[in-house]
Amino acid sequence: MSAAFTTTASEPTIVDPYSVPIERLDVSDPRLALDQTWKRYFERMREEAPVHYLKDSKFGPFWSVTRYDDVVAVEDQPQIYSSSWEHGGITILDMQDLGVQLRMFIAMDDPEHAEQRKTVSPALLPGEIKKMAEPMRVRTAEVLDALPVGVPFDWVEHVSVELTTRMLSILLDFPWDERHKLPYWSDHAANIDIGTDPIANAERERIMHEMAGYFLKLFEERKAAPPKSDLISVMAHSDAMSNLDYQRFLGNIALLVVGGNDTTRNSMSGLVYQINTFPEEWAKLKANPALAANAAIEVVRLQTPIAHMRRTAVADTELRGQKIRKGDKVVIWYNSANRDEAVFPDGDRFDVNRENARRHLSFGYGIHRCLGARLAELQLATLIEEMLKRGMEVKYASPPERLSSCFLNAYGRMMVTMTRSV
């Protein structure tokens, strides 16, 4: 994990959310992630100010949308709540302030968004994902069988990163021996918490141009070759994406790399967090492995790998009685919506039998819902199934290290010991 993200819980303690006026609560403070204090912040906001306005933050003023139904309402009105980079993009930090411009299709509005999305979507249809199931299982088995027994190791590095990087390399037909570059690039592409720091942004920009240069070479090679099913070839031979300008090319490559890496990787780490916090649920899975698929979805709900997306109002509107003006920044917090008690009772609990787990918003909603959602769920379910086959028990060797971020709900390191009965 990038050093730009990694931090420890030794940083200054965050104030108790019930000790200050609610209008001062700033859920964009990345330190809230270190000890999960954000859960109590959102708990209060959902109850007292579900559509909450903060006048001053390091990201400027913004609205926070915290309840499930309200997040859905925003996602359902893309004609009012824009995702376009022209209006600031999809993160709480204006994309124009990030130095290098990542003009990815999820940071676009229709029709351009729809044209580029439909180019990539055939590679992730159910039929294509079904073809990946058995090779995915083989790779998962290889990784698990290489783990040391009874000796501490980092689950993030040896399982979460390794499995997702292997899958992404296949989707992109990326050179196998250089696949380690993918998580490195992903960490920097997703790091919005550096804010507008000029030195950090210059380094991020350098790394993004390095990534673009590498992929441009692959892109030109695939464009000159007969079409194949990998995502780079699909882009190179499509009408909508074969002649992208540099910023759109860079943005869409960053989207594929981050989307294929961070969400699944952090859910795989989140699985170990949940089974250490709720060991009785792991016991239920051992007794009934058929629950693995639903357990995977429940892990994704709780982990919410991408904590928020941002929209910008392009017209005056109203949400839950609050008047939102044209140009206002509106942040939809998936991590809060996924714990909305009105939808998910006892929402902070891992429940492998939760009947409505699939209603989670971790992959978004509406026209911008993640194309790779089902692939991510399959990867996680496969991991659970293969762990159960081996009778694996994974226990913390030391407390996990979370990343200081308001965008990613992520782990930098998770030292564990593993035993297995098979």
Q: Tell me the three state secondary structure of residue 198.
A: helix
Q: Where residue 149 falls among pLDDT bands split at 50, 70, 90?
A: very high
Q: What is the pLDDT of residues 245-296, one digit of tens each?
A: 877 887 888 888 887 788 899 999 999 999 999 999 999 999 999 999 999 9
Of residues 288, 305, 282, 320, the one with CA closest to residue 360: 305
Q: State what percent of residues in the chain have pLDDT above 90.
A: 68
Residue 153, SS3 per DSSP: strand
Q: Band of the pLDDT at 11, cuts 50, 70, 90?
A: very low
Residue 226 belongs to a domain:
yes
More confident residue, 258 or 341: 341
Query: To the nearest whole number, what is the mean pLDDT of the chain?
Result: 90
Q: For residues 35 and 259, what is the distance between their CA atoms, to the nearest angstrom?
A: 25
Q: Does residue 100 carry a pLDDT above 70?
A: no
pLDDT greater than 60 at residue 146: yes
Q: Indicate if the pLDDT at residue 231 is higher than 90.
A: no
| Residues constituting the chain | 422
- The whole-number pLDDT of residue 1 equals 44
Is a pLDDT exceeding 50 seen at residue 8?
no
Q: Give the pLDDT confidence of 50-91 residue by residue, as tens digits.
A: 999 999 998 999 999 999 999 999 999 999 999 998 898 888
Is the pLDDT confidence value at 2 over 60? no
- Strand order of the β-sheet with 51-54 is 51-54, 62-65, 329-333, 308-313, 81-82
> Does residue 317 sit within a domain?
yes
Question: Per the domain annotation, does 10 fall within a domain?
Answer: no
300: three-class secondary structure by DSSP: helix
Whether 12 is in a domain gets the answer no
pLDDT of residue 96: 66
**Domain total of the chain:** 1
The domain containing residue 224 runs over which residues? Answer: 22-419
Which has more pLDDT, 13 or 263?
A: 263
Q: Mean pLDDT across the stretch 98-112?
A: 76
**Segment holding 264, helix H or strand E:** helix 262-277
Residue 169 has pLDDT above 70, yes or no: yes
Residue 16 included in any domain: no
HSE on the CB side for 33, CA within 13 Å? Answer: 28
3-state secondary structure of 333: strand
pLDDT band at 101 (very low <50, low <70, confident <90, very high): low
pLDDT tens per residue across span 370-390: 988 999 999 999 999 999 999
Provide the 8-state DSSP code for 186. H
pLDDT tens-digit profile of 183-197?
Answer: 998 888 877 776 667
Q: How far apart are CA 114 and CA 112, in angstroms?
A: 6
* The pair of three-digit structure tokens given for residue 298, joined into one six-digit string: 């429940």
Asked whether residue 112 is domain-assigned, the answer is yes
Question: What DSSP assignment string belongs to 78-121?
Answer: TTTEE--GGGT-SSSS-GGGGSS----GGGS-TTHHHHHHHHHG
More confident residue, 18 or 187: 18
Q: Which two tokens stand for residue 248?
A: 């759109």
Pair of tokens at residue 279: 């060991």
State the Cα–Cα distance between residues 89 and 86, nearest whole angstrom: 7
Give the residue among 187, 184, 182, 186 at the shortest CA–CA distance from 218.
182
Say if 339 falls within a structural domain.
Answer: yes
Q: What is the CATH number of the domain that holds 203?
A: 1.10.630.10
Decide the pairing of beta strands 308-313 and 62-65. unpaired
* pTM: predicted TM-score of the whole model, two decimal places: 0.91
Lowest-confidence pick of 98-102, 152-156, 183-187: 98-102
Helix (H) or strand (E) holding 199: helix 198-224
Segment 4-33 mean pLDDT: 76
Task: Please check whether residue 11 lies inside any domain of the structure.
Answer: no
